[in-house]
Structure formats: C-alpha cells, structure tokens
Structure 1
C-alpha cells in the first residue's frame, strides 16, 4: 500500500453547471446584512497503488489557501485548493505538475485578486485556471526530465467564499453531495463521450476500440507530447480544461475528488452514499477517503487509487437540518384535518 501522497498541506446527470449571479456570491451585502452560509472547510485523503506495479497518482490538498500563499494573493474566506493528477506512461508528468502546481496556478498565471466574488472575478478566475493548465502542459514539453510519452490527467477544485469551481482535463471526477444526492461536477473526457469523439474526429484523430488514435484512453491530458507534436499543431489530444461552478449552500455536505480507478467500479451515487454513511458514523473525512479506496479495491479495480474528501458542513449541521425537516413533516396536516381545524376556529 502507498500512504497519502507526499504533498499534503492542511492548515486548519449534468445539473451542476449553474449561472452564478454576483448577488448570490457575496457572503454579506449592504442590502442583506445577515450573514449567508459560509462553508466550514476540512478534508482528508488516501492513496493506494492498487494492483499496478507502479504508483502514478499524485495529489495536493490545501484547506487554507490564504495562509499557504501568505500576502501573495488576497481573496474572500474561506479559500481552499485541491488537485488530483493521474499519470500514465510513467510517473514523471504527474509528479512534475504536483510539484509545480502552486506556481502554475497562482504565480505564473497572474491569479486575480479581489475582496468580493463577482461576475468579473469569475471570468478572470476561469481564464487564470485555464492558463495554469496550459502552462503546465507547455512546461512538460520543455522539461528534459519528463519523457515525451509521459502524461497526466488533472482535476482541480477551488473554493473561494461560497464559490466552488472545478476544472478538469481527463477522466478524474469530482462529485458533490447535496442532501445525499450525487451531483457530478466534472465530465469524464473519454473517447466514448459523444462530444469528445466529435471534437477528436474534426481534428483528424480517430477512436479505435475506445482509445484515442488507438493509444490513449483519455482525450484530454497534460504532457503526452509524443502525441501532440509538432508543437503548435492542432492535436486531437488537448490540455484545455472544462469548468463547472456552483454556489455552495447549507445543503452541500461534501465533495469527492477521485481518479478513474474509483469510477471504473462504482457510480457517483454509490460513492456519495458510502462517504455520507461514514461521516455520520465518525465525521472523519480521511477515514472516509480510505474506506472509498478500500471499497474500490474490493470491487476489483485495476488501477491506482487516489481520493480526496472535502467537507463543507459538520455532521452536526447535517443532522440539525434533517431534524428540522422531520419536525416540519410532523406538523403537516391532511386536507380533512385542516378543514376541521378551520371549522373549529370559526366557532
């Protein structure tokens, strides 16, 4: 077994693509002085080599991004950053991106600064994260220590205030639990996905037995420069991420980020249900991440495994919300009872 990845910095289906009006993003506003829901961030992670001979997964977990970056960047609290990098063709690409992730996403990419999250900031943020993915991809081409046949998928999740933004290139997956329901926050970029297949074929690529150009099981990845050369050409394999964003509410309990080894053997809803039961028993996201990995192994996954669980509310908050709903249900009246009550009150 391989324990949690080296870099762990901890300091303290499609409905999720939502428009995020600026009026919903402010934790406080002059018109609404009552504080809105504020996520309470904590996380856990676990990784295992699985049945493979080599471990090619990497991940990064930062529960307090502002504290980690210091005075470098300023934005609303809470702030957190997570990433899973699932390598292929050797571990070099995933290890390189994990090692340099903070530079690619928050330094070289000119990360936008703001005191409040608004629509302008959302546009700048998406552009910045996209630039970070492309910078990482180009760096893999230029770094002589990384083999040209080595590549990695990449999924990042950024929390700023009540905003959750997920960027994905590849087949890792982020799944949000909202009141026990699984909401996919990313799309698996696999050759059998209709939109990806169409894009690949329009760029001159082909799908053979579920593999891009008969070689790769994903259609988006960082690195793999032996498939992207000559540099500057239109390759069917791209590093461009897709984005999904959502405004978190008190109904949003946690986020699961996992590599494809998890999703090969279980659905998003199965994973959410397993984690939710675990959190209600012991409220330990790290144990839940381990339990999810162990369940994937029990179901005979054939890949490396990495899972991050990010909690937005405490188990007490979830139980209080459930209790309030039960009380409301207990007070409901049938139409006949309501009619009798009206007659009684009317004398």
Structure 2
C-alpha cells in the first residue's frame, strides 16, 4: 500500500464520474478517525460512515467491483493487505474507495464469506448501483440481502404429495368411563371402496370427545365421513360439504330415539385430499401441525370464556356461569346435547357449526397431532410437537408417539379421558434440525491495526 493513502476517506456523494469527495475540518476528521479506530479495536464495524448515494458511472462501478472482488479473496482484513501492484491498474477513485470505510461496512455487514462473494458477483453481473447502494444504506441486513436475490429460494416443492402414516392411543384416565371415540383412515379411496372422483392421496382422521355417555361420540364417528362424501357439494365444494355434514350429524342425534338427548360430543376432524388439508372443529379438542419443529395450531378451543364465544352466547340469550355454558357444559360448541338446544333450525347458544382451517401441505409439514382436551389441559402445543418429533427421530412410529403423549399427560395428572392421534406425512423420520452457530464478526488483525495507525498518523 502506498504511504499516505487516506484509509478513512469519507465518501458522501459522488456525481457523474464519481470524482468529488466531501471535505470537513481536520479536527472533525481526526475525531471520526479516532472513533472508528476504537470501534475496530473492539472488533466492531466503524460508526458514522458516509454512504455513496449516487454513482452514474458504470465504468467506475465495474472497476470498483473488480477491485472489491480481490479484497474479498483476502478475507476480512484484505483491504489493508492489497499491494500496490494489485490495485495499480485501477483508477485513482477506485483505489481511494477500496481503502475507505465504505468497504469495511460492506464486509462487516455480510454474514459470511459466501455472502460476500455472492454480493460482489451479483453487483458485477447486474451493473445496478441502485440496488447495491440501497443495501448499503440499510447496512445490508438479511432482509436486504434477500431483496438482492442472494437468499436461496424456498424449499417448498409444489410437486410434494404426502404419504400418510398414523397411530393412536387412548386411556380412560381418572374418569369412571371412557367416552372418547376416534377414527384413522390412511387410505380414503380404499376405505370407501369406491372410485369416487376426488384427489389422491386421500385420508381422514377424527377425534370425538363425548359427554353424557358415549352414544353421541360413537354415532358421529360412524357417520360423519359418509355425510361428507355423500353430500352433493363434495368434492368441488368440500368446505360446504363439511359444514353440511356437521348439521346433518347434529340433527340425526336429535332424531335417533336410542340416543339420550343429554348425550353430546365435540368433533375435530382432518380431511386431506392431495396436498390440501381441511381441519374442522367444534369443541375443545385441538389440531396442531408440526412444521420443522414448530407448533402451528390449526384449531381454536371453543370454551365458553373465549371472548368471541362469550359474545355469541350472550347475544343468543345464553349465560356463562363459572366457565360453563348455562352452568352445564364446559364447551361452547358441540354436536348433540339437545336438552340444551331449542327446536331444530333455531339459533342456540350451543352451536354445532365448525370452524374450518385450510392449508396446503409442504415438505416442511412433518406431522399432525389431533387430541382431546385431556392432553391440552396439561400440555402446551409446542411441548407436544417437541416430544413427537423427538420420538419420531428415535423410532419413527406414530403409535408409540401417541402413547408417549398419553403417558406424559397421565404423569401430569390430567383429569379427563385421553385420546391422541399422530399423523405423519412422510415415510421417513423428521430430519435433524441444524441450528446455525452465531458467527462472531472477526476483528481486524494486529498487523492490519498497526497499518491503520500508521496511515492515520501520517
């Protein structure tokens, strides 16, 4: 490096040929230089750096990028180690800029050597000073790097088709009777024994948490799927078919003489056709998606104290006493319970209408947990997802995962029946999640620091 080169050259605005630099008082410059030197000594990027705002000379820009690439090749301290012969063929403006604080910002703002190389290659190919300077203005954070196209595209594969595997486990728990029912259909076409025209693969799963006896839950488990697929709106209007099926099941419970009017059930189901999954829920059972270790809740617990449910209940003349609807039920939505509801077709504080959630499955969606409130009363959604993922990585058996959740809930002293379903969307266990290490930003080498001091003292 030639002696006397100003390593702390402050570039404020370069117009036209990019040849004019800002000038300040000597004392102000010295203060800034000292501040930047202290930052460098602490292993931090310099502060108070003026940024290049405009540069309309493509020749200068190309020349600078070429020189910048040489700096990158020498890693973090390279801009101090470039010999005169390395930059001698570049323009005077380039040589000044390559040794300036601007380059330090560029290098420190990038998160890795690879991103630095991508940044230089991108800028050279695009010849776009606007995008580069916009990134510099925002200190080249991760979102800006993404806008520059340096982040790899999403791994979502539009051709992904799930392969269903499921397992379930139930326990009576501390209750005197078991009132839960469930259904697992991994192959919907085979189960229906029909060549019905709906997307493949197809699957159906449901959890029905009964109360006032098991009759309502058992009836719903046996009939709800047929009510859906036999609806005239299926499969073109699947959402409407599901809502209609809930109404039919609810009315059928009222009309069936063998079922006591005080018997009722919650209903949580997942219907999967191709990549599209529809989750329908009426009650306090819950559906949770495991997405690369994250818990995504796909249903809402319909408790009477829930704000939206309370508003609906009170608007329709119902009351909530000690968390119970009309002092009798701990849920705000259910099928059956006709001793509480009015005549069929009338609005009732106890609703049978399901809430629906639709998603398109991707490779990141690893499994689905459907469970009654006996599990969720003692365990968070994230805890359940973490447990299942860990179990799958050990033995890849969804049934053993379901059992593990039930066992854990019993150890946590749940007060209810327990029913847990785990549905996997791939034959393989979840991949190990690589947590990126926190890359420490490298400080300037002692040799480089000495060079800076020498330059500033000259």
TM-score range, shorter chain: 0.7 to 0.9
**Partner SS for 1:167:** strand
8 Å CA contact 2:228, 2:234 repeated in 1: no
The equivalent residue for 1:188 is 301
- What is the Cα deviation at residue 235 of structure 1? 0.9
1:314 is displaced (CA, Å) by: 3.6
Describe how 1:51-130 pairs up with structure 2 within 5 A: 51-71=174-194, 73-107=196-230, 109-110=231-232, 112-113=234-235, 121=236, 124-130=237-243
Q: Which residue of 2 aligns with 1:167?
A: 280
Query: Equivalents in 2 of 1:80, 1:177: separation in Å?
Result: 18
Q: Match for residue 319 of structure 1?
A: 431
User: For structure 2, which runs of at least 5 residues remain unmatched after alignment?
Assistant: 1-156, 445-458
**Any stretches of 5+ residues in structure 1 without a counterpart?**
1-33, 114-120, 338-347
TM-score normalised by the chain length of structure 2: 0.60
Higher relative contact order, structure no. (Cα contacts within 8 Å, ≥ 6 residues apart): 1
Query: 1:164 is paired with a residue of what secondary structure?
Result: strand
- The answer (yes or no) to whether the contact 2:266–2:285 under 8 Å persists in 1 is yes
Q: Does 1:46 find its partner at 2:169? A: yes
Q: Do the aligned partners of 1:252 and 1:313 also contact (CA within 8 Å) in 2?
A: no
Higher strand share: 1
Compared CA separation, residues 38 and 50, structure 1 to 2 (3 A) = same
1:255 aligns with 2:368: yes
Q: Which has the larger radius of gyration?
A: 2
Q: How many angstroms does 1:35 deviate by? A: 6.2
Q: Distance in 2 between matches of 1:249 and 1:233?
A: 41
CA contact (8 A) 2:233 2:240 kept: no
What RMSD over aligned residues (CA atoms) do the two structures have, in Å?
2.0
1:343 corresponds in structure 2 to none
| Distance change (3 Å), C-alpha of 1:230 and 1:294 | same
Partner of 2:359, secondary structure, is: strand
Alignment of 1:1-347 (within 5 A): 36-71=159-194, 73-107=196-230, 109-110=231-232, 112-113=234-235, 121=236, 124-316=237-429, 318-319=430-431, 322=433
> Whole-Å Cα distance in 1 between the matches of residues 248 and 309 of structure 2?
22
The offset of 1:96, in angstroms, is 1.0
Q: CA deviation at 1:160?
A: 1.0
The superposition leaves residues 71-99 of structure 1 with CA deviations (integer Å, 9 ceiling, x where unpaired) of 25222221100011000011111011112
SS of 1:232's equivalent in the other structure is coil
CA 1:336–1:247: 2 relative to 1, 3 Å: farther
